[in-house]
Chain A
């Protein structure tokens, strides 16, 4: 298996909160809206540095405490003269963890001409609310005891996901590596670890390598991982995703 790009190192402490939220009845969708926050037009010349129009988007409203992550899909951005402001290349948006009642997202656009006075933006923010789908949080008890074989879990089966735990090196007991389809890993928000008493073994980082179809993800824990630890998969299921379209018109340019 070869590395595909730089491994991703993520911290995913939200899984445990999500587990408790998922045990409750499916909640109403959050009543949120997207507002324009700070706008900075940084215009540069005579240097290798590139300028950009930075826009802060504020996601505000009730029910944000149930939102564990969000991602932004930007579909259009133009100034009042009609100049397109979307960057030439845009990476596939990724979910970013949300903490607390406020969620801000920053985006970078191309500089509008000096003659422009305002700009408009449209797109959607996708909220990940695990409480809206009990199937979005799957606990696999004693998952590490069956290394080398596919994890037997009705929850993973229902989500059409398949993972196996690779045999662990006894000398390295602060990490665990899972193998599975790349597409399945892409549908995960996070993987958490619980000790036999249900206490969290904090995941301090994850690294992923892929050869295209298949991938392996290593979870680095803050301490030793007990042999009989459980794994908690937090899955970005369609039912747990709430799209919030936005259309911001005539935002003044500074």
Chain B
């Protein structure tokens, strides 16, 4: 697998920014009371019409109750969306929406009003003859790590953990197990998984060249770290990990490449790897760090 560095993504799974979240979408059970409402305003709207399935309506909503600096990620679940012709604009995958990093803002200066959080919403394409969005409503699930000290776990001097499992009470409490693999451990893991794939193929009745070509395709796509990369094995059955990054001694994010594959997370920084005083930061979803709000927009003119 080819690798890119410096602000580039390295796999389709890594297209979201560094704080991509792979949390299972949870839909409200029937009878659940909706979360409290928040005021929203449309700050941008783009109706991208292409005549195929890539057509879409993109909105950016400003949440007036939340400062941009406190919202690290958000997941928007659209429950209702329609134009004035009656076309349903709720995307098919609305229930599986992933939590995505929210555009960051620096802290305001003295006397300045903090910028409000802005979250992206993607809908299906409205009818050409439509003039108005009659309704867009749903819920915004916001990740606010500053509200819970247990939501951000820092593992100092990450280099010293190579070849070991990270020992941390907050990670254990969240049911998250992370190990930092050496090259040998990764090679062994690759071999183990290839054998598992071979066994699976055998059970499906594949033999000889067919089986080996399947295994070979698997090995070809298997993550291959470059010099200096940090390879983590992450077990997170409850989907609590929101993001993982490398921080230098000054607390600056030094992660410039990230790849996720079947429980492995590979973080790139520099060819020499993390400095001796760098730490690993793991952001966790905790009850106190997540807040949900409902929103409703009506009568939005279409451009």
Q: A residues bordering B, Cβ < 8 Å?
A: 38-47, 49, 51, 111, 114-115, 117, 252-254
Contacts and interface: CB of A to CB of B under 8 A. Distances in A.
B46 interface: yes
Contacts of B131: 114
A109 to B, nearest CB: 13
B129 A46 contact: no
A51 B43 CA distance: 15
A115 B129 contact: yes
Nearest to A114: B128
A49 B48 CA distance: 13
A46 B44 contact: yes
A254 B43 contact: no
A118 B248 CA distance: 56
Contacts of B301: 45
Contacts of A115: 129
B33 to A, nearest CB: 32
Interface string B102-142: 00000000000000000000000000111100000000000
B297 interface: no
A114 B133 CA distance: 14
Contacts, number: 58
Interface of B: 42-52, 55, 128-131, 301-303
Nearest to A42: B48
Given A42-B49, A51-B303, A253-B49, 18 more contacts: A39-B50, A40-B48, A40-B49, A41-B49, A42-B47, A43-B48, A43-B49, A43-B303, A44-B46, A46-B42, A46-B44, A46-B45, A51-B46, A114-B129, A114-B302, A115-B129, A117-B128, A254-B50
A45 B129 CA distance: 17
A44 B44 contact: yes
A167 to B, nearest CB: 42
B45 A47 contact: yes
B46 A43 contact: yes
B45 A44 contact: yes
Nearest to B47: A43
B45 A45 contact: yes
Contacts of B45: 44-47
Contacts of B302: 43, 45, 114
A45 B44 CA distance: 6
A45 B303 contact: yes
Nearest to B41: A46
Nearest to B55: A254
